[in-house]
Amino acid sequence: MPEPALPRDAATVLLLRDAPGGVEVYLLRRVKGMPFAGGMTAFPGGSVDPDDADATIGWVGPPAALWADSFGCSEPLARALVCAAVRETFEESGVLLAAADGVEVEVAETAEWEAERRALVQREHSLAELLTRRGLRLRADLLRPWAHWITPEDEPRRYDTRFFVAALPAGVAARDVSGEAEEAAWVPAADALAQNERGERPMFLPTLVTLTDITRFATVANVLAAAPPGRLETVQPRLEYTAEGEFVVMPDGSRWRPPIRLGRSR
């Protein structure tokens, strides 16, 4: 058998807000026909870019060493993962988790800021360059580590993904700006799971599990307070091929039938 593909480091963010129906999560439905996860519901996120490792970026909050302890990785990679989380959140929701001194967070909702966001998507500048020019510092203190998943070895496109949780800052609105999504919406976590159960909102297992985690909490503050204090458990399922079809098998032996074909069966 061929060697498994090397997983790419990635970061994804559960952006949360309180609502009468419970904790809501900002969800993207990826455009159908995309080479990866087309039509699937996901959180803002993506692969780490080389520029995310820029150590000159202004920083507020836990140092890279603490993030490295949570993620079980080097400090440079931990810093890059946090930067990727902030960058992807801005690119895919318009929410910029950064601020000048004395301000909680930048409200990046003007036409000028939209041009900055698009330039970031096009890699015309890096996040570090953008924040430095604007006199802002990344707000790592607004993020919490939540989970760590690695794609099964049989998958041709693999990711080593760290999941973060973050509260939507006061006075800031998420916007449907992602070119990779056909829908962006705030959805109560429990409703998203019910939609998945009815076949209306397909999602991969890591999304399903993390949303299920969120339903245990009444408020966003409760979620943030429950972020694991130590090293995150790494979850790497495997694929199993049977006469009944293809299954994703968790480390505890539980099995899940994916909504689309994965691995070598594609």
Give the tens place of pLDDT for each residue, 66-90. Answer: 999 999 999 999 999 999 999 999 9
Query: Residue 95 corresponds to which tokens in the numbers above?
Result: 């929410």
**Sequence-ordered list of residues with C-beta below 8 angstroms from that of 147, at least 6 positions apart, any chain:** 162, 163, 206, 209, 210, 213, 232, 233, 235
Domains within the chain, CATH numbers bracketed: 8-227 (3.90.79.10)
CA distance 29 to 198: 16
Give the tens place of pLDDT for each residue, 82-130. Answer: 999 999 999 999 999 999 987 878 888 899 999 999 999 999 999 999 9
Q: C-alpha 220: how far from its chain's center?
A: 16
Query: Residue 133 corresponds to which tokens in the numbers above?
Result: 């020019």
Please indicate, yes or no, whether the overall pTM of this predicted structure exceeds 0.75.
yes
